[in-house]
Amino acid sequence: MIVLKNVTCGYQDFPVLQDISLQIESGEFCALLGPNGAGKSTLLYTIMGYLKPSEGSVTIFGKEIASVKHSWLAKQLAFVPQETRSEFDHTVQETVLMGRYPYLGLLQSYSSEDFDTVDSVLEELKLLELKHRWLSEISGGEKQRVLIARALVQQTPFILLDESLSQLDINYQIEIMKLLKAIHSKENKTVLIVSHNLNLAANYAERLIFLKEGKILAAGKPELLMQKETLKELFTIELDIMQNPHSGRPNIIYP
């Protein structure tokens, strides 16, 4: 599990997260929600060890993130960033293969098993046809699916996604959430996804975490958190809630 204890963390002299304590249990499916600038990405970067807390601690399976080997961490946590920028262009296959990097031995090259793992995930995400295309020549939504594929081939117990649905059409948004839910149930993978899509988060996640101004406003089951007053506190807008007849979960009705 991942445990944050009294974490204060941010950029230079700007502490975005303030005294955050949070536990993500192994096997949970959580969605992190909150207004723009609340600190959601900063929280993921802190868990990934990209940002060092000025106060408090972050541990994974009881080990301090700051003191573990990068190679060990890469076998525990896979991260799907909002976007990727690279000086060099890569094909879809090369990009997804990078997810197998933590499993390469010294001076070793990718095995046929690595290539097979990549192919099966590409097929699952309906990307096989794009396998030899350059990243610079595919759409934003296709690129997001490639980044998700890279995280899946990393075969880690934890997967963290930063607004990874934002450029997907509604069909793929639902498909990716279903896929995450399936691997979460089948492989007991822990999923933490940042999303601005309240309804999808409420339909698929088991726990919602509401972040506002660098602090946890509330965390709990969608049925508890998707309430008019709590959402007003989070987003400063009055939203009507109804039970979704398909998922049985509370959903907002767009005004």
Ligand X SMILES: Nc1ncnc2c1ncn2[C@@H]1O[C@H](COP(=O)(O)OP(=O)(O)OP(=O)(O)O)[C@@H](O)[C@H]1O
Chain contacts with ligand X (rule: CB under 6 A): 11, 14, 16, 34, 36-42
Q: Which is nearer to ligand X, 25 or 213 (CB)?
A: 213
Residue nearer to ligand X on the CB measure, 40 or 100: 40
Nearest to 242 by CA among 203, 196, 197, 208: 203
The runs of H, that is alpha helices, within the chain are 40-48, 70-73, 92-97, 112-124, 140-153, 170-187, 198-204, 222-225, 228-235
The least CB distance from residue 45 to ligand X, in Å, is 8
User: Which of these, 50, 131, 61, lies nearest to 96 by C-alpha position?
Assistant: 131
Residue 8 one-letter amino acid: T
Distance CA 109, CA 60 (A): 29
Taking the least distance from each CB to ligand X, the nearer of 151 and 211 is 211
Q: State the minimum distance, in angstroms, from the CB of residue 40 to ligand X.
A: 4
Of 239, 237, 205, residue with least CA distance to 223: 205
Query: Smallest gap, in angstroms, from Cβ of residue 75 to ligand X?
Result: 26
Closest to ligand X by CB, 10 or 27: 10
Write down the least CB distance from residue 193 to ligand X, Å: 12
